[in-house]
Amino acid sequence: MKKHPYLFSIDLEDIRFRMPNGNSFSERVPETTISYLDWLRRNQYKCTFFTVGDVARAYPDLIRQIIAEGHEIGAHTNTHLPVCKMTEEEFESDINNNLQSLYKAGAENVVGFRAPYFSLTKDVPWAYDVLKRTGFTYSSSVFPASNPFYGWKGFGQEIKRLDSGMIEFPMSIKTYGPLKLAFSGGIYFRTLPKFVINSNFNTFKNKEIPLTGYFHPYDIDTKQEKFMHPEINDNPFFNWLINFNRKNVFSRLDAILEKGFYIDTYKNFLSDHERP
């Protein structure tokens, strides 16, 4: 059976760093990241870890372990600010700080970027120029539809080479009327019914494009203390969702792999598919 690519990736961030009282909660990122590494090793796949600068500074040993196991390190900004909330100069300085921390922790040749909250939108087209001149070749930062946060309506689902020369891998989404679901990662992957997830993955088998996936350390964390997640405006329903069904992420992922999908780093995928 020919397998279809699933660009499963981790947004490596510690939500405690975005909370005023974050230090009062236990450190969970090393253990959850190692659970992802164990699962990837068992399945013999490599993936991309888009890493925030403050995480690389806090956990350099963890970054070294990710690299030693053959995974790709990408950038995810220095302190997890939305790209569209920065000026061009601020973004360039932020990215340089992010890169410096990744290189100091042992990363080499970082070429991939993911915007926090998929906040690369049509309002900040200069972001690709910044990425190009700071050494990146690709980004996976666009939610290609309108959504309550930072979508880019009309971008399309295809991988695109932009005027700057940068390549963008937009999120995989499924449209149900007004609903646009990024079903292949994070909170959508955990909360939608399993049959919806599986049937949407199957529809991508007929397409020429890979599925993209994004997960966080907290997506599998069942031991974290209960607290109001930052950045959800104290909404109890969203907080309930953000904690929902974390225990079944790996079994859902196993089911996807059994259906004929393989995982790879973005960098490998690009070098395998780049046309001369």
| Residues at the site binding Zn ion, with contacts judged by CB under 5 A | 11, 13, 116
CB of 150 to Zn ion, least distance (A): 12
CB of 193 to Zn ion, least distance (A): 25
Q: Which is nearer to Zn ion, 4 or 66 (CB)?
A: 66
Q: Which is nearer to Zn ion, 13 or 94 (CB)?
A: 13
Q: Which is nearer to Zn ion, 11 or 204 (CB)?
A: 11
Q: Which is nearer to Zn ion, 116 or 204 (CB)?
A: 116
CB of 220 to Zn ion, least distance (A): 15
Q: Which residue is nearest to Zn ion (CB)?
A: 11
Q: DSSP labels for the chain?
A: -PPEEEEEEEEE--GGGGSTTGGGS---HHHHHHHHHHHHHHHT---EEEE-HHHHHH-HHHHHHHHHTTPEEEE--SS---GGGS-HHHHHHHHHHHHHHHHHTT--S--EE--GGGB--TT-THHHHHHHHTT--EE--B--S--SSS--TT--SS-EE-TTS-EE-PPP-EEETTEEE-TTSHHHHHHS-HHHHHHHHHHHTTSSSPEEEEE-GGGG-SSSPP-PPTTSTT-HHHHHHHHTTGGGHHHHHHHHHHTTEEE--HHHHHHHH---
Q: Which is nearer to Zn ion, 116 or 213 (CB)?
A: 116
CB of 49 to Zn ion, least distance (A): 12
CB of 51 to Zn ion, least distance (A): 10
